[in-house]
Structures are given as C-alpha cells and as structure tokens.
Structure 1
Amino acid sequence: MGDFEPAPPRRRGPGRTGRWPVATIGGAVAWTLAAALTPPHAGAQQTAPQGSSERTLLPAPVVPVAPSLTREDVDDAVGLLDNTVTGLMDQTGIPGVAVAVVYKDEVIYEKTFGVREVGKPDPIDTDTVFLLASVSKPIASTVVAGLAGKELFALSDPVSQYNPAFALGDPYVTEHATFIDLLSHRSGLFTGAGDFLEDLGFDRDTILGRIEQQPLDTFRSSYHYSNFGYTAGGEAAAVAAGKPFEDVAEEVLFDPLGMTRTSYRHADYLAHENRAHIHVRTGPEATTWAARYDRNPDAEAPAGGASSTITDMAKFVRLQLAEGEFGGEPVIARAPLAITHRPHSVTGGNPGSAARAHFYGLGWNVSYDDEGRVELSHSGAFTLGTSTNVTMLPGEDLGIVVLTNGEPIGVPETIATIFMDIVRNGEQTVDWYPLFHRAFAAMAEADIADARAADPSGDPGEALPLEAYAGTYDNSYFGPARVTLDGDALTMALGPDEAPVSFALTRDVGGRFVFETIGEWGTGPSRALFEIGADGTPSRLTLGAYNTRGLGVFERP
C-alpha cells in the first residue's frame, strides 16, 4: 500500500492568512494525545500547598473572536474528506471509519467506510455502534451540566456533599474536591489511578471505595488524567439525582436528542448486531488487523463507557455548538454547559516557547489557534482496539466527529486535524499522520518504561521448591494474591473472588518470577519477587507492574 499523500495545496482567497506552527501539532488535538488517552504516568506538577483555596475560573470566553470562516472554506475541506479517509485506510489498514461534519446546526457530511469486523463482509453504516472510549468524557460532563442546570447542585460544589462515600487520600481534598476539580483532572489523583483494578475485573463501587489508598499530587495545582477521578465526579452527580449514572444520561441527554443507539451500558453495545468490533494490529507489517478482544468499560462508564453511532454523535455536536439547544429547544442549560468549555487546568505548553499553553475544561481539551479561536477536542482510545475523536470550533459553529474500530495509532486525530487545517488554511500544511503516529508510539513506550522501572530489583535469593511459595498474600488495595501449585506449574490469582484472573508464574532466578500483564494497561512481561522472612519461608510478594505507585506489595499473614 502506498504512503498517504497530503492534499494538494490550494490558494486561499484574499484576506485569509495564518498557518499552525508545527510545534503545536494541531492545537488541542495534540494535547488530546498527551493528556486524554491513557497517557504516560506523568503530568504537570506545580508547587502549591495541599490545601490551596479554590481558584477563580479562568476568565477566558468560550468564543473570544468573531467568526471568519465561510461556507466555501468548509465545503472545500469537506470535498477532500473522502480522499483523506480512504488514503489513511489504505496506508494503515484500519478496518472501519465513520465521519460526520456539523456546520451551523446542519450535518453537512456523514459517511462510513470499511467493515465492522475484519474477514466479514458486513459494512460500517450510520447505525453501526462504536465504543467511544474517552469521548465518553465530554458526553458525561454535558450530562453533569444538565443536572446542574436543573439546580440539583452547582459545579463548584464539593462532591462529598452529595456522595458521602466519596473519599480520597487526604481529608482536606475529600472535603473540598468539587465537580470541577474531578472533571478537569486536578484532584491530585495520578494518571491511571484505579485502572489496574478495572483490568482485574473489579466493579465501580469497589474501585471508588479503594481509590483513597492512591497517593495524591498537589490539589488544584497539578494535572493528571484520571479515569476514576472523573468517574467519581459522574457518580456523585448520579447520587444527587437519585439514579444510576447510565439512567441519568438517558433522561438528561440521549432521549431528548433522540440518540437512540447511545448508551453507557456495555451490554447495550453487545446487544447490537450492527456494532463495530474492536481490532488490534497483527503481523510484521502492522497493517493487518484482528478482532481479538472485548473491552468492558462499565466500571469507568462516565469516563470511558459510552457507545454510539456517527448519527447520534452528530446530534451531540449540534447540541454543543448550539450552546445546549437542539432543534431550537433548550436541552442543557447554557451557563453550566459553557463552564465545561472553559479552561480549568493547564495541561502543557511553555510560555517561553513557540507553543502556546493548552488547557483542560470539563471533559474537553481547550486551546486557541493563531486567529484566537477556541478549539475544543477530545480523543478516545482503548489499546484493545478502538480510537475516536471529536473536534470543534465553537465560534465558527463547526465540528467534526471521527469514529474507528482500530487501536490508537493516530487515525481519527489525523482525519480531524487535516480537515481543520484545510478549513483554516485552504490546504493541508503538514503531513499530520506521522506526527500523531509517533506520539501514540511514544506514549506506549513510556507506559512500558514505567512498568519496567517498577520491577523489583532486590536480591532474588536462592531458589526454593515451588510449593514453598504457595499461599495467600494480602493487600488492602488489590485484594489477596493466591499463589497455588498445580503439578509443576505455579500460578497466581488476582481480582474479585467470583471471577479471579489467573497468571502463570515462570521462574526467572531464585525467588524472582515472570508473569504477563493483562488488559488495557498490559505492558508485556513483569517480575514478581518473593522475599524470604526470618523463618526461611516467603513472607512478601512484590508485583512490579502493579507497583508503579507503591501499592503492589503483598504480605503473607
């Protein structure tokens, strides 16, 4: 398959200037990569006291400049979308793509490409249901804004007022963390907090009940992308409404918009015969794909559990661009919805560099282009096989949604960014796909490096008979690790009692063993180290990949 060629340059009419500096890599879309998709275990760490007082919302308007694009500008970019999508599909082999463009409350482009599952003929169509992954977040913040508009709470209220079960690792943070804090990732929870428990099969209540054991960075002065911090915000809103979050989303948003094939329940996704199966790349050329996994995100539903169609998502974008109205009728109150579109956390950028700072709102990445326009975006990705993106220029009443059924390699971000690049500049100014592709590869490499750095490095000691390691090792966060010997094979079980996950333990040297990590946060092989107590028997077990925050040490009673 040939390389994907950028769109040919075209001359922009009089009065149109501006071109994105390469350093920004597409404005907010670039920070979607660095901040919104299971990123490396890192974030902006800024000095502030743990009990810092509530900040005033940044006074940036949602639409700071007058609109300047024309219908011709938009139509020119729309006219090149087919070639953009098919070119990327040829280059990457990604199985299926769906794209919609909304302009001035009209869906002016809605097309689907490819198949629901590799090796089968069923095509993607406008009713095909995709897993949205983290594009669930702006949907959830809209639901929460809808409840705030009904005066069930204010977004600046502490969530503990509405959900007494909410707790984080610092009493001050527990008492003062607001809906805004949790939905803008500034609670202090580190990236990935709770995600390992989800991989092991624990449910939402269990994970949120144990998240207070997670260490915290500085409250309101650090940004770390936390799925379960976000979920805690959505859950508190649901408690205030007196119903499960999944039901609230239907009543507040999906039903009024007629999003009939959208849900926060994974069972609903699975019930659709017309669904996009998720795919990962296989083979040495990395352009062949296979539908190997199911990804059940129910535990983190507000942060990553939605599924939808391209038609339904176009309705969602219409609502956003119309400031909470749909079909001329108010659905979500304008004032709280506007709060979701404003900056609340600084996610990156250096004031001394050519790249501008980027921000996070409530479920939205927020940035500003060379013309001063606000760009709102968010990507979603499961490493087990889906990637999505929504990008909007609210001041221009313009938005694009891209859904795919392939693992995150930069395809939806590239499509959205090329489209917006052509809209702004009359031509594609950068070969975007290699930039996004490298960004995703770098994030995956960083996750692996973090896991390797947590591998136990202590003395493995002498090799004991395998039966000596058998037993139960306790851990308040992960629950017990049950190590058993079956014949000459040592195995370890983790997870809920009713459905534990089994890991084979293969001896490396002495009391150090190797096991394969699993799930969304799987990073390949990791080490397990048994430490010997004073009585000469194993007394402690450290699991490297699960110890990145110091929580992966298990004690034998």
Structure 2
Amino acid sequence: MRRRCAGRAAAGAGALLIAACGTGGMVTAAGQFGAPLGAAVAAGTRPDPPAVPTSTTLATPTPTPALSAAPPAQAPPSLTQAQIHGAVARLDGVIRATMARTGVPGLSVAVVHKDRTLYLKGYGVRRVGDPRPVGPDTVFQLASVSKPLASTVVAGVVGGKTVAWDDPVVKHDPEFALKDPWVSRHVTLADLFAHRSGLPDHAGDLLEDLGYGRPYIIARLRYEPLAPFRASYAYTNFGLTAAAEAVAKARGVTWEELSARVLYRPLGMTSTSSLFDDYANAPDRASLHVKVNGHWEAKGSRDPQAQSPAGGASSTARDMVSWMRLQLGDGKVGGRTVIDQAALEQTHLPQIVSAPPRAPFGEAGFYGLGWNVGYDDLGRLRLNHSGGFDLGAATTVTLLPTEGLGIVVLTNGEPLGVPEAVAETFFDIAQHSRQTVDWLPLIGGLFAKMDQAGRSTLDYARPPPDATQRHPADAYTGTYDNPYYGPMQVLSTPDGLVMRLGPKGTAFPLRHYDGDTFSYPTQGENAVGLSGVRFTVREARRATAVTVEHLNQNGLGTFTRR
C-alpha cells in the first residue's frame, strides 16, 4: 500500500536508505551530515525488524524499561556563527530554485538558532489561481509533524505528574485493548508513541479512509494481528492516537483542548490547533494541492480529525518558531519553563530501532517518542519528523540540539520531497559552506518509486481478452458483515454493481474483471488506483463471501454474507 502519511523512520550514514512511515523515512548520503532526513519520504515498504533487540527494544514481553532521564553524551557544537548565517543568506535562493523546479504553489520557512529567529518568510500563493500570497502567518496542515507536537503535549502532562511515560494505557483508558490480552495490559504510552506495540504498519488508516471516527477505529485495533511486542517497529497513526487519547482522559478533557491548554496557549501559538475546523475556517490558510498531468490543482481537502494527535494539527511558520525554541531550550522559552525538562528529554531518546543498518558500518535509524532520532557523523543528536498527505500537503522539521539550530518547512503540495530537499540543502551548506548534493532529484526520485508501492500486481484496467462473468449480478448482491470494517452492501444498479462501505455508505462502482473478480477505484489518503474484489460463490450459485484486496493487507478484508 502506498503510504505518504506523515513520517517514517530510518537512517544510515554512508548509504541511501528509506524506511517506512511514520505518515518518517530518513535519508542519508555518504559525506553529508550522515543524519536521517526524517520523513514523509515513506511509503508502503516497511523496515525489517531488528534482528537483535537493543537496550530499548525488548525481545520478550517484560515490564516496560525505565526511560533514562538524561540523553547520552553528545558532541560539542561545531558550526560557527558565520557558517550558520552563510547558510541563512543562501536559503532564499535555495527555496526559489526548488519552487521553480517543482512548481509547488506555496511554502513557508523558519530557522531558529539559540533562541533567536534567523529566518521567517513565506513564498508563493495559498491556492493556485488566487493571487493571495503565503506569509509567515499562513496556516498549513502539518500532517505527521503533529506527532512531535503531540509528544510535547504529553511531556507537559508527564511533567505535571498526572501520567508517566511508562504508564500502561489501560490505567487511563480501561477500554483499550489489543489482540493479545497480556500486551493489552502492559502496553504503555511510550510503547505507542514509539511505534513498538506490535501493531502492524498504519493500523486503522483504512478505516479512516472509509469515514470512521476515532472511537470506532481505536476500538477496532484489537482485531489487528500483532508482531513481537517491543521488538518490532511499525508506524501507526492510530496507536499513537490511542495513547494521546488516554492522556487526555487522565486529564478529563478532549485531546484538542489538552493540546491548547498545555502547549499552544502557554507558547502564544495563537494560529495553531488540533481541530480541523480551525484550519478549515482560518482566513489565511494554505489549500491542499496535487499534481495532475504536470499541473498543480487544488482538488479537495483532507480532514484528519480522527487521528488528530498523529496527523491533525495545523500551524504557521511563526508559531512553529515558538515550539522549536521550546525544544532547543530544554522546555524553556525566554527563560520561562513551559514543559518539564526531564519529561521532554525523554522524547529525544531512541526507543526502538526503526531501521537496522543495511550495509557494513552503516548506522541504525531510531524512533523516539514522536520523533525520528539519529546521530550524525560528528556524534550530534538530530531530531526530525516529516509529514505528508497524498491529498496535498508536505512538511518537515529538523533540529540539531547541540547547535541550537532548527528549521521547519511547510508546503501546500503533495509529497515530492520539496520540504526535505530545502532542509537538507540548508544543513548541507551550513556544514560545508556549499551544497554538496543536489537533494531534490535524490529525494524526489525516492518519492517517485514509492508512489508505485502497494499497487495491485494485476492491471485491472485491462481485463483478459477471454474474460467472462461466471454468474449473474444477483449472485453477488446482498449484505456482508465484517467485524473490523463493518457491513458492506453490494447493489445492482442500471450502471452495474456498486459496493457500499463505511458509516456513510460510500459507493464504489464495481467493474467486472474476470470470473467472480471485479475491480473498483480506491479512495482516500491511502488510495492505490484500481484494486480487486473477489467473490466466493458456492454450489447454490450465490456468493457466500467477498474479499476486498485493498482492505486485506492484514488479513482482515473478507466479508461474510449476512
């Protein structure tokens, strides 16, 4: 399945690597920062699970390990003021060149160094065909950059002693459950924020595409097959969302209100929200854009409210400056403590190997609590996350805490590697006083390859020349049940068979392919073009079951006739 989502994780100096989602892949190149490029650069491929568990990835279910209160020793700062200012001076040219090469409609960028804003500027337009410009206060959807914001919120609650990172989720949400009862009792907030619960990659996302809301999706996580607990990494928007929901319940408020109380209001992030309606109603907002036949179009919207903690926040470059200052200032902004330092530092520690080394002397990629965590060739901690909606947004944030340096890049175009290329070029110039790699085609090429991931191996647009439909339409019509996806209706209409799914009965037209197999156009953030629908017809010449290929990644896509 193609996954732009919002962040993936991986890394490896001296090699070009990509790993799966984390809606965060990381890319590194020999001779560069050697650090992970966090990333929406992810798609349907998954990193191999670590062969040997590390100190933060337990091979067998044991009590949650205590998290260290202090990060490992780090290299001292190595960038001079002149290097950083030189990179900032060239950033305008980098951005304009990147926009010229891609045509991305709008972009907003901020750079922070040692509690000071060095760069804050918008480019392009909010919507194609509309001359209103993007500025520092234009609101963008953050996609998976919402995750490090969410872990900051939880760190604030941890600092207030209401919850602890190693609290079992059921302590605050007794109804939460996964398929294994032991795991259900022991999985912690940290396990879900680090994507090490055993849930499969992007568990629950297809339910969101069908229109289900947060409570339904979280309740259905108990049907998902589990990989080894705390010994495998798989990026899950709704696993993280479930943990955030538990924290909100512990405080007796909604997640959206908790985010505002703990983080947005104290930091003066007046244009930041975890409510989609606030983004949709913002007068100065960037519309989503996709590329159609080489041209950018504002075709629709993406309501990520169901996964708000993982992908539903919206913000501006100006507001993100305040948050980057908080991260780089150990929980303080302007000398004022907003988030407890010890609780925040825990989010910056490696919690799970997200991508094991793929080459001799290669470096592993790690995921922390809502962050891709890596260490570059100079031993510097590097925090990163990217976000992306296939329906039209791409974002990234990268911090070098020992340098006190951070950059955020927000765009209103589908993920093509634009924000990652701008950020990597900036760090490249800062480190080497020149650009040593043309990052845009490098990262863009990886996105292009991933764009094809997860598509069916059958070309449903071209039925076999001798294709025949084995049974009349009424053999397939009826109502079918599925405990995970809910009921499905198959109806006969003048235009042919139609499949209806989801709480709103979304209609998917079925086109005959061959035998008892039909195709349908997938929809939503995780759409992969045409996919298959295969009916099982027994002796009575009436279908008893139907399997939907696109919904069957985890073996949950078979519906049984009612």
1:387 aligns with 394
The normalised TM-score by structure 1 is 0.91
Aligned to 1:350: 357
Residue 367 of structure 1 and its aligned partner are, at CA, apart by: 0.9
Deviation at residue 290 of structure 1 after TM alignment: 0.3
Match of 1:107 among 117, 121, 124: 117
Tell me which of 506, 525, 530 is aligned to 1:525.
Answer: 530
By how many angstroms is 1:62 displaced?
Answer: 5.5
**Structure 2 unmatched runs, 5+:** 1-12, 17-27, 53-57, 461-466
Where does 1:216-255 land on structure 2 (aligned, <5 Å)? 216-255=226-265
Match of 1:263 in 2: 273
The alpha-carbon distance between structure 1 residues 322 and 225, as it changes in their structure 2 partners (threshold 3 A), is same
Matched, 1:167 2:177: yes
Deviations 1:59-108 (A, max 9, x none): 98266121122211100000110110000100001000100000010111
Structure 1 residue 143 and structure 2 residue 153: aligned? yes
* Paired position in structure 2 for 1:457: none
SS for the counterpart of 2:554 is: coil
The answer to whether the Cα contact below 8 Å between 1:46 and 1:222 also exists between their aligned partners in 2 is no
Looking at structure 2, the residues matched to 515 and 118 of structure 1 have their Cα atoms a distance apart, in angstroms, of: 31
Amino acid of the structure 1 residue aligned with 2:87:
A
Measure how far apart 1:348 and its partner are. 1.4
Structure 1 residues 232 and 181, CA gap change in structure 2 (3 angstroms): same
Q: State whether residues 133 and 387 of structure 1, in contact with CA within 8 Å, keep that contact through their aligned partners in structure 2.
A: yes
Q: For 1:51-62, list aligned pairs within 5 A.
A: 51-55=61-65, 57=67, 61=71
> What is the Cα deviation at residue 46 of structure 1?
4.0
Residues 33 and 39 in structure 1, CA contact (< 8 A), matched pair in contact too? no
Listed one character per residue, the Cα deviations across residues 172-216 of structure 1 (whole Å, up to 9, x for unaligned) are 111111111100100011111000000000000000001110111
Q: Which residue of 2 aligns with 1:14?
A: none
Contact 2:34 2:377 in 1 (8 A): no
Answer whether contact 2:38 2:396 (CA < 8 A) is retained. no
Pairing 1:48-87 to 2, within 5 Å after superposition: 51-55=61-65, 57=67, 61=71, 64-87=74-97
Q: Is residue 41–residue 192 contact of structure 1 (8 Å, CA) maintained in 2? A: no
Decide whether aligned partners of structure 1 residues 153 and 450 sit closer, same or farther in structure 2, where only a CA change above 3 A counts: farther
1:50 is displaced (CA, Å) by: 5.3
The answer for the alignment partner of 2:6 in structure 1 is: none
1:471 to 475, 478, 503: 478
* Aligned counterpart, 1:5: none
2:555 is aligned, of 527, 535, 550, to 550
Local SS of the residue matching 1:86: helix
Q: Residue 52 of structure 1: CA displacement?
A: 4.0
Aligned partners of 1:321, 1:56: CA distance in 2, in Å?
24
Is 1:491 aligned to residue 498 of structure 2? Answer: yes
Which of 173, 187, 199 is 1:177 aligned to? 187
SS in 2 for 1:441: helix
Contact 1:96 1:406 in 2 (8 A): yes
* SS of equivalent residue, structure 2 residue 431: helix
Are the equivalent residues in 2 in contact too, given 1:367–1:375 (CA < 8 A)?
yes
1:357 CA displacement = 1.1
Q: Distance in 1 between matches of 2:260 and 2:438?
A: 40
Identity among equivalent positions (%) equals: 46
Q: How far apart are the structure 2 equivalents of 1:110 and 1:146? A: 27
Is the CA contact 1:375–1:392 (under 8 Å) kept in the aligned structure 2? yes
User: How many residues matched?
Assistant: 526
What whole-Å deviation, never above 9, does each CA across 1:332-369 have from its counterpart, x for those lacking one? 00001000011001111417524311111111111111
Structure 1 distance, partners of 2:448, 2:459, is 17
Kept after mapping to 2: 8 A contact 1:281/1:289: yes
Q: Tell me the equivalent position of 1:410.
A: 417
1:261 aligned counterpart, secondary structure: coil
Q: Report the Cα distance in structure 1 between the residues aligned to 2:147 and 2:458, rounded to whole angstroms.
A: 26
Give, in angstroms, the shift of residue 429 of structure 1.
1.3
Deviations 1:132-160 (A, max 9, x none): 00000000000000000000011011111
Q: Deviation per CA, 1:439-493: give whole Å up to 9, x if none.
A: 222322222258999xxxxxx9952221221100110000011011122421111
Which deviations, in whole Å up to 9, do the C-alpha atoms of 1:29-71 show, x marking residues without a partner?
Answer: 435256xx45435542547755244345479826612112221
- CA shift for structure 1 position 122: 0.8
Q: 1:97 and 2:111 equivalent? A: no
Correspondence for 1:11: none
Aligned-partner Cα distance in 2 for 1:219–1:451: 34
TM-score (structure 2 length as normaliser): 0.90
Cα distance in 2, alignment partners of residues 50 and 446 from structure 1: 32
Aligned pairs for 1:19-38 (under 5 A) are 21=14, 23=16, 24-25=28-29, 27-33=34-40, 37=42
SS in 2 for 1:263: coil
Give the superposition deviation at 1:27. Answer: 4.4
**Counterparts of 1:365-380 in structure 2 under 5 Å?**
365-380=372-387
Are the equivalent residues in 1 in contact too, given 2:109–2:409 (CA < 8 A)? yes
Cα distance in 2 for residues equivalent to 1:451 and 1:403: 36
> How is 1:333-344 mapped onto 2 (pairs within 5 angstroms)?
333-344=340-351
1:538 paired with 2:543, answer yes
The CA distance in 2 between the partners of 1:292 and 1:116, in whole Å, is 13
Distance in 2 (CA, whole Å) between partners of 1:66 and 1:409 is: 34
Question: Contact (CA 8 Å) 2:354, 2:367: kept in 1 or not?
Answer: yes
**Which piece of structure 1 moves more, 52-61 or 364-373?**
52-61
Confirm or deny that 1:508 pairs with 2:513. yes
Alpha-carbon distance between aligned partners in 2 of 1:205 and 1:222, rounded to the nearest angstrom:
25
**Cα distance change of structure 1 residues 387 and 352 upon mapping to structure 2, 3 Å threshold:** closer
Q: Which secondary structure state, in structure 2, belongs to the residue aligned with residue 142 of structure 1?
A: helix
Letter in 1 for 2:110: A
- 1:66 aligned counterpart, secondary structure: coil
Cα distance in 2 between the residues matched to 1:449 and 1:245: 37
Check conservation: 2:108, 2:123, Cα contact below 8 A.
Answer: yes
- Measured in 1, the distance between the counterparts of 2:388 and 2:306 equals 16
**Aligned partners of 1:277 and 1:385: how far apart in 2?**
8
Letter of the 2:531 partner, please give it: S
1:489–1:305 CA distance, 2 compared to 1 (3 A): same
2:538 maps to amino acid: G
Counterpart-to-counterpart distance in 2, 1:532 and 1:44:
39
